[in-house]
Structure 1
């Protein structure tokens, strides 16, 4: 099999969209200019926060209007990001992005409403994907239960199966593992899917769940966990877990932190109040240790294991066309192996670039977002082309 031939795009959670009008404005201000810059079709990886999807569905002919606007712009839409439920551009997002979790009816309803909108945008017989959070966050005092989350996801799969039967559009949910979440490693993810399949089988819904619920492989997230891309994708495939979506993204890397003083100081510029930036270190004996966020306190005293580590990786999405950021490196070297592993699958997951951090990235004040996004798409497309 080869990589998806659908137009490559970027995830639109990079620009704020608190209303339906904001969503449409973003297409005109950013997405269409990016498409013009690259000179070929572009996929609009839409993010509709809960208030926005509600507004679209409540408006007279709202989904038809969104479809018409995409057509007017010359854009297609085959994947949504339904991970951030609320305002992803609030002053402080951090761990709030994991709420509501997958034990809640609110998360289920939101995801199903996103599917309703996406179905209206797909061509007849088309396939869509919706990425979502990895069940919940490990850092909360009360963590969501796998069984209840599995029940909600089974409900979602049954809804998506009915939607497919009614209109011929197959939409798949893509659970996105992330550091310090209930699903962060490939092993944890596979373990959860066995629970999910068991719950679904007891309800006579295993076929629907296997068809409609899978994984979003975010290359940055698994690189932060120091997972090998080929091994990660191969393990999911062997276990029967479908990769429904791939997010092309890079993390920050600091090698030899004990000696790289310039790199440690450069990391201070990446401390910011909006998003959570989990830190993992690979020790010289091969073990990994983690810290929940990149903070001044952590940098002032990371502890002996971090101080003596071989390398640190930080969950801060940085441009996928950047191999270095001054004295810091990136995990860009993981992109080609990750996409090669995806290309070896017997099906073609949806692919999008996701660098949502441009507004908080050091040294990017006043940067031309259109040019930056176009450069990322061109760099990703080159990797895909080189893989054949």
Structure 2
């Protein structure tokens, strides 16, 4: 099957928005100008923080009003990002982005409320997706329990099945594996889904879970883990785990760090206080090791294994049209094989560009946001257009 024919878009978590008015302001200031720049229809991959969802649903016609505002701007919406729950543009986000986790009633309620909004934005018979966090963060002292998370996701699937029956709109949750989270590798993800299906089966909801709960494949995240895109997608498919959403994104890459003093110095300029930037190294024997964040302390003393590693990759989303930033490389080469693998599936996941770090890129990498987003959309569309249809 070809890749999804819906208009390509980008995730609006790059815009601060804690109110409905701020959401619309971001669309007017950035999204609509980006669409004009690319010169074709475009989707808005909306990030709706919890206060925005609450504000929309507080009014009886809130979702209809949002739909009207989007329609007036000529924007299509088929996917939401419900990973960041609160202020994704606070001075310090870091590991707080993984709260509340999937054992909490707050996370379940927020996701279900996002689904209610999305159902009001989709056309009749339409399909939507909602990306969400990978259960929780491994670095917390008390990691969330898989069993309780599986029960919460089963409840979510039942809600989504009810929404589908009542509205004719099919909405699927997309769990997004990420480095140093409870689900980070393909193997861990498949193990969790087997547990989830078992829990759902005992509660009479396995069909609903298989239909409505899957994964969000973020190309940056799995590249940081040094996973091969084609193998990753094929392994998920063989295991019966549905890929509901794909985020086109790139990580930073530093080859031969021991010999590349210029590259290590350039990497120091990417240290910043807002987001977590996990670092992984592939050793010369093929093993990988990781550090939870890119910090000055890490770069000052990375340790002998990191120092002697073959390659470092850093979870710092960089523009997908960039092959390198000066002496630093990117994982752009993973994008085409990832999209080819997705196109080989017998269904069409939703695809969006997700570079949320524009505001924290160092000076030499930063550029006008409208220009940068348009360049990313165009570069991704070219990759998609180059993939043969079956």
TM bracket (short chain)? over 0.9
Q: Distance in 2 between matches of 1:249 and 1:75?
A: 22
In the TM superposition, what is the alpha-carbon distance from 1:368 to its structure 2 partner? 1.1
In the TM superposition, what is the alpha-carbon distance from 1:96 to its structure 2 partner? 0.0
Q: Distance in 1 between matches of 2:86 and 2:189?
A: 25
Runs (4+) off by over 2 Å: 364-367
Task: Say whether the 8 Å CA contact 1:197–1:210 is kept in structure 2.
Answer: yes
In the TM superposition, what is the alpha-carbon distance from 1:59 to its structure 2 partner? 2.5
**1:186 and 2:186 equivalent?**
yes
In the TM superposition, what is the alpha-carbon distance from 1:143 to its structure 2 partner? 0.4
Where does 1:220-235 land on structure 2 (aligned, <5 Å)? 220-235=220-235
**1:265 and 2:269 equivalent?**
no
TM-score relative to the length of structure 1: 0.99
* Residue equivalent to 2:78: 78
**1:130 and 2:130 equivalent?**
yes
In the TM superposition, what is the alpha-carbon distance from 1:367 to its structure 2 partner? 2.6
Task: Say whether the 8 Å CA contact 1:126–1:170 is kept in structure 2.
Answer: yes
* Residue equivalent to 2:166: 166
Q: Distance in 2 between matches of 1:33 and 1:378?
A: 14
Task: Say whether the 8 Å CA contact 1:229–1:337 is kept in structure 2.
Answer: yes
In the TM superposition, what is the alpha-carbon distance from 1:160 to its structure 2 partner? 0.1
Task: Say whether the 8 Å CA contact 2:325–2:365 is kept in structure 1.
Answer: no
CA deviation profile, 1:117-174 (whole Å, cap 9, x unmatched)? 0000000000000000000000000001110000000000000000000000000000
Q: Distance in 2 between matches of 1:120 and 1:70?
A: 12
Give the secondary structure class of the aligned counterpart of 2:36: helix
Task: Say whether the 8 Å CA contact 2:279–2:313 is kept in structure 1.
Answer: yes
Q: Distance in 1 between matches of 2:144 and 2:187?
A: 18
* Residue equivalent to 2:36: 36
**1:153 and 2:153 equivalent?**
yes
* Residue equivalent to 2:341: 341
Q: Distance in 2 between matches of 1:210 and 1:92?
A: 36
Task: Say whether the 8 Å CA contact 2:263–2:328 is kept in structure 1.
Answer: yes
Give the secondary structure class of the aligned counterpart of 2:247: strand
CA deviation profile, 1:248-292 (whole Å, cap 9, x unmatched)? 000000000000000000001000000000000000000000000
Task: Say whether the 8 Å CA contact 2:78–2:118 is kept in structure 1.
Answer: yes
Give the secondary structure class of the aligned counterpart of 2:159: helix
**1:306 and 2:297 equivalent?**
no
Q: Distance in 2 between matches of 1:89 and 1:324?
A: 26
* Residue equivalent to 2:292: 292
* Residue equivalent to 2:350: 350
In the TM superposition, what is the alpha-carbon distance from 1:207 to its structure 2 partner? 0.2
**1:249 and 2:280 equivalent?**
no
Task: Say whether the 8 Å CA contact 2:358–2:366 is kept in structure 1.
Answer: no
* Residue equivalent to 2:55: 55
In the TM superposition, what is the alpha-carbon distance from 1:385 to its structure 2 partner? 0.3
Task: Say whether the 8 Å CA contact 2:4–2:349 is kept in structure 1.
Answer: yes
In the TM superposition, what is the alpha-carbon distance from 1:49 to its structure 2 partner? 0.4
Task: Say whether the 8 Å CA contact 1:12–1:44 is kept in structure 2.
Answer: yes
Task: Say whether the 8 Å CA contact 1:131–1:216 is kept in structure 2.
Answer: yes
- Superposition RMSD on alpha carbons, in Å? 0.8
Q: Distance in 2 between matches of 1:32 and 1:383?
A: 23
**1:205 and 2:205 equivalent?**
yes
Task: Say whether the 8 Å CA contact 1:358–1:364 is kept in structure 2.
Answer: no
CA deviation profile, 1:312-367 (whole Å, cap 9, x unmatched)? 00000000000010000000000000000000000000000000000000126873
In the TM superposition, what is the alpha-carbon distance from 1:221 to its structure 2 partner? 0.0
Give the secondary structure class of the aligned counterpart of 1:65: helix
TM-score relative to the length of structure 2: 0.99
